[in-house]
């Protein structure tokens, strides 16, 4: 919420693949290749919420030891999806505690017989604490709801006679405490004249509904037993040559050879190397540009890695292909530069939220959202307030969208997180989203770019649209004078109920949202060519929150509804974004490119 000190950490820049610099080992996105197979486990799972008073019946009765249906009734639960809005049982919508998921799988015979094969179970995300059993064996625990985790289960499936079925049981706890990300508290209500014994509520300190469950895909995949474990890539530009620095880690054997080939978009090899690390030089390289900025945006090479190894079981090969965009990102006192050219963020803040699926990953929704981003002329978005599915980042790479990738620490204000983020990946600028006082802000001294949220004429001086320009100018001038760093207006907006109209504008109507945006835009235009390097509307679409007196079926600051239909402000923003794109594209002489069709781009 704007009136709290809502802060979040984010690292940003285009191209997020292979960015785990400084980490030991990695977790490559599961990919099919000549040496690797995938088996998706999306679809219907069996499900039960543990409604017992202490929420621990499942552990006391060891529900993981037998098929879930044998320990009580189960529901059908689609994966991926949040469990909250699926059933008609209101208790499930607000459930806090352990829920149980189960799925049986038949494995291809080769996976269970071939000792050259490594079988991995990978869970795209489980919000927010998960324990995983395979055939009743405790296999994996994971904390944190927005990142993938996995376990090598070969020794569980390659034992003796063929196991006819693999039973995967996952217990997930969505309780938020002061030590979870995001944090929350559990409050016991002890007044027995008002609340039954043991009654508690989950308090959260952020403005989105705590959807939970298996919200991203679950899958099994294979690699050879000696395999490519991780590939780290950084890129640079030297005169007209592109540089691709790679580092590859291998697990399973020390006796191996590695070949790395860089292929262009036409599959032509443009550079190659051997060994675990090296630099590939591409004369006359095509650079990765954000779309709208250049006539040939989002150019991706493929780094094809081939591993050959000698193992005690004989020779083994592994293949992995990583998309690579060659680009540079830099920040000066007043500019954000991509490939040496000033980049202006004209984009949106998003949530992964929609309809009954909650935060469940959904391809139709993702493609629709990307179509809307292009319709709007948005060149960037922030993954507020947590990391999104890897498939989303891959889409951004392919479509030329710049991402501010947010960590799930919404509400935290610890400057040392920046040092940690930079240690993991020194190649990208880092920011900290703040709405506090410029003089007292704890994050600003450490960031590369300052991100400011302000809600003038909404949470402050509400109704007084005439004050926005003055207050915005004061905000920008104060922050810039103190820190001399480029600034992004990372949030601004107004609650708007689609279909509410009033002219002259009143709060909550489409006219008010439009007028508020217009006033902000006048203020932004005053500083846009100086040191303000971006603007991100709050929010792309309406989204669900906890119930409160200030939220009517969720947060309604979207320029699209939750069903992705435009409010009037969407058309206003579209005009503006395409106008800015027209002014800032490079080189200025480029012809209209295909992604600009049917747009007001001239």
Which is closer to ligand GCB, CB of 142 or CB of 557? 557
Q: In the complex, what is the shortest distance from the CB of residue 507 to ligand GCB, in angstroms, rounded to a whole number?
A: 13
Residues 514-543 that bind ligand GCB (CB under 6 A): 538
Using CA atoms, how far apart are residues 352 and 384, in angstroms rounded to an integer?
Answer: 9
Before 347, cis peptide (omega within 30)? Answer: no
Among 135, 175, 435, 469, binds ligand GCB (CB under 6 A): 435
Which is closer to ligand GCB, CB of 207 or CB of 353? 207
Which is closer to ligand GCB, CB of 252 or CB of 493? 493
Nearest residue to 324 (alpha-carbon basis) of 339, 303, 338, 296:
303
- Choices 1-9, 215-223, 333-341, 586-594 (CB under 6 A): range interacting with ligand GCB: 1-9
Q: Does 494 bind ligand GCB (CB under 6 A)?
A: no
Contact 260, 232 (CB under 8 A): no
Using CA atoms, how far apart are residues 481 and 378, in angstroms rounded to an integer?
Answer: 29
Which is closer to ligand GCB, CB of 4 or CB of 110? 4
Q: Does 2 bind ligand GCB (CB under 6 A)?
A: yes
Q: C-alpha 416: how far from its chain's center?
A: 22
Nearest residue to 537 (alpha-carbon basis) of 576, 497, 579:
576
Which is closer to ligand GCB, CB of 289 or CB of 388? 388
Taking CB atoms, the residue at the shortest distance from ligand GCB is: 207
Q: Does 497 bind ligand GCB (CB under 6 A)?
A: no
Residues 383-402 that bind ligand GCB (CB under 6 A): 385
Using CA atoms, how far apart are residues 362 and 341, in angstroms rounded to an integer?
Answer: 35
Half-sphere exposure of 394 (CA within 13 A, CB side): 12
The dihedrals phi and psi of 459, each to the nearest 5 degrees, come to: -80, -20
Which is closer to ligand GCB, CB of 229 or CB of 406? 406
Residues 450-489 that bind ligand GCB (CB under 6 A): 453
Q: Does 555 bind ligand GCB (CB under 6 A)?
A: yes
Q: Does 557 bind ligand GCB (CB under 6 A)?
A: yes
Nearest residue to 12 (alpha-carbon basis) of 376, 301, 290, 321:
290
- What is the contact mask toward ligand GCB in residues 132 to 171, using x (rule: CB under 6 A)? ----------------------------------------
Q: Which residue has the tokens 């217009």?
A: 518
Using CA atoms, how far apart are residues 435 and 40, in angstroms rounded to an integer?
Answer: 42
Q: Does 556 bind ligand GCB (CB under 6 A)?
A: no
Q: In the complex, what is the shortest distance from the CB of residue 204 to ligand GCB, in angstroms, rounded to a whole number?
A: 11
Cβ-proximal residues to 252 (8 Å cutoff; 6+ apart), any chain: 118, 224, 225, 226, 227, 309, 311, 316
Q: DSSP alpha helices (H): ranges in 268-405?
A: 363-376, 390-399
Q: In the complex, what is the shortest distance from the CB of residue 42 to ligand GCB, in angstroms, rounded to a whole number?
A: 29
Tell me the C-alpha to C-alpha distance, in Å, between residue 532 and each of 113, 316, 335, 381, 528. 60, 53, 8, 16, 5
Q: Does 262 bind ligand GCB (CB under 6 A)?
A: no
Among 50, 150, 207, 535, binds ligand GCB (CB under 6 A): 207
Q: What number of chain residues touch ligand GCB (CB under 6 A)?
A: 12
SS3 assignment, position 262: strand
Kind and range of the H or E element at 154?
helix 154-157
Q: Does 232 bind ligand GCB (CB under 6 A)?
A: no
Which is closer to ligand GCB, CB of 287 or CB of 536? 536
Q: In the complex, what is the shortest distance from the CB of residue 4 to ligand GCB, in angstroms, rounded to a whole number?
A: 8
Q: In the complex, what is the shortest distance from the CB of residue 307 to ligand GCB, in angstroms, rounded to a whole number?
A: 44
Q: In the complex, what is the shortest distance from the CB of residue 489 to ligand GCB, in angstroms, rounded to a whole number?
A: 12
Q: Does 491 bind ligand GCB (CB under 6 A)?
A: yes
Using CA atoms, how far apart are residues 195 and 240, in angstroms rounded to an integer?
Answer: 71
Instruction: Give the binding site for ligand GCB (CB under 6 A).
Output: 1-2, 6, 206-207, 385, 435, 453, 491, 538, 555, 557
């Amino acid at each position: 919420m704007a009136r709290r000190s809502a802060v979040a950490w984010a690292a940003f820049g285009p191209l997020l693949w292979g960015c785990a610099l400084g980490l030991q080992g990695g977790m490559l996105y599961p990919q099919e290749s000549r040496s690797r197979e995938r088996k998706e486990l999306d679809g219907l799972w069996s499900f039960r919420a543990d409604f017992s008073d202490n929420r621990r019946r499942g552990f006391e009765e060891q529900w993981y030891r037998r098929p879930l249906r044998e320990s009580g009734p189960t529901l059908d639960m689609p994966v991926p999806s949040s469990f909250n809005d699926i059933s008609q049982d209101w208790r499930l919508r607000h459930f806090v505690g352990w829920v149980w998921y189960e799925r049986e799988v038949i494995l291809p015979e080769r996976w269970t017989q071939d000792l050259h094969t490594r079988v991995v179970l990978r869970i795209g995300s489980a919000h927010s604490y998960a324990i995983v059993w395979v055939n009743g064996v405790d296999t994996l625990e994971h904390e944190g709801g927005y990142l993938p985790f996995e376990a090598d289960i070969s020794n569980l499936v390659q034992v003796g006679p063929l196991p006819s079925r693999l039973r995967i049981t996952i217990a997930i706890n969505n309780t938020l405490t002061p030590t979870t990300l995001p944090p929350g508290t559990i409050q016991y209500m002890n007044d027995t004249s008002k609340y039954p014994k043991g009654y508690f509520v989950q308090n959260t300190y952020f403005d989105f509904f705590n959807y939970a469950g298996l919200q991203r895909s679950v899958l099994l995949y294979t690699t050879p037993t000696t395999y490519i474990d991780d590939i780290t890539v950084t890129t640079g530009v030297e005169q007209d040559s592109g540089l691709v620095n790679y580092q590859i880690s291998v697990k399973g054997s020390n006796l191996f050879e590695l070949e790395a080939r860089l292929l262009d978009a036409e599959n032509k090899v443009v550079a190659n190397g051997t060994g675990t690390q090296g630099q590939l030089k591409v004369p006359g390289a095509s650079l990765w540009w954000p779309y709208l900025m250049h006539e040939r945006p989002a150019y991706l090479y493929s780094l094809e890695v081939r591993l050959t190894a000698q193992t005690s079981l004989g020779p083994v090969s592994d293949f992995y292909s990583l998309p690579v965009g060659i680009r540079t990102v830099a920040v000066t006192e007043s500019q954000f530069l991509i490939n040496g050219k000033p980049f202006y963020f004209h984009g949106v803040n998003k949530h992964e939220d929609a309809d009954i699926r909650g935060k469940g990953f959904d391809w139709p929704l993702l493609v629709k959202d990307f179509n809307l981003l292009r319709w709007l002329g948005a060149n960037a978005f922030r993954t507020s307030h947590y990391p999104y599915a890897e498939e989303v980042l891959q889409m951004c790479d392919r479509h030329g969208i710049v991402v501010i990738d947010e960590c799930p620490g919404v509400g935290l204000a610890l400057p040392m997180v920046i040092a940690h983020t930079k240690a993991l990946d020194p190649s990208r600028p880092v920011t900290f989203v703040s709405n506090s006082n410029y003089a007292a802000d704890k994050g600003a001294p450490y960031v590369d770019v300052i991100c400011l949220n302000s809600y003038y004429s909404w949470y402050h001086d509400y109704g007084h649209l005439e004050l926005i320009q003055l207050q915005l100018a004061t905000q920008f001038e104060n922050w810039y004078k103190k820190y001399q760093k480029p600034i992004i207006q990372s949030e601004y907006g107004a609650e708007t109920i689609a279909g509410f109209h009033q002219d002259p504008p009143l709060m909550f109507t489409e006219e008010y949202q439009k007028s508020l945006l217009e006033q902000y835009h006048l203020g932004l235009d005053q500083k846009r060519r100086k040191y303000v390097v971006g603007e991100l509307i709050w929010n792309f679409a309406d989204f669900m929150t906890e119930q409160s007196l200030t939220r009517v079926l969720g947060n309604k600051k979207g320029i699209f509804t939750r069903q992705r239909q435009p409010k009037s402000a969407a058309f206003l923003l579209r005009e503006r974004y395409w106008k800015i794109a027209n002014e800032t594209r490079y080189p200025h002489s480029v012809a209209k490119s295909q992604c600009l069709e049917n747009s007001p781009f001239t």
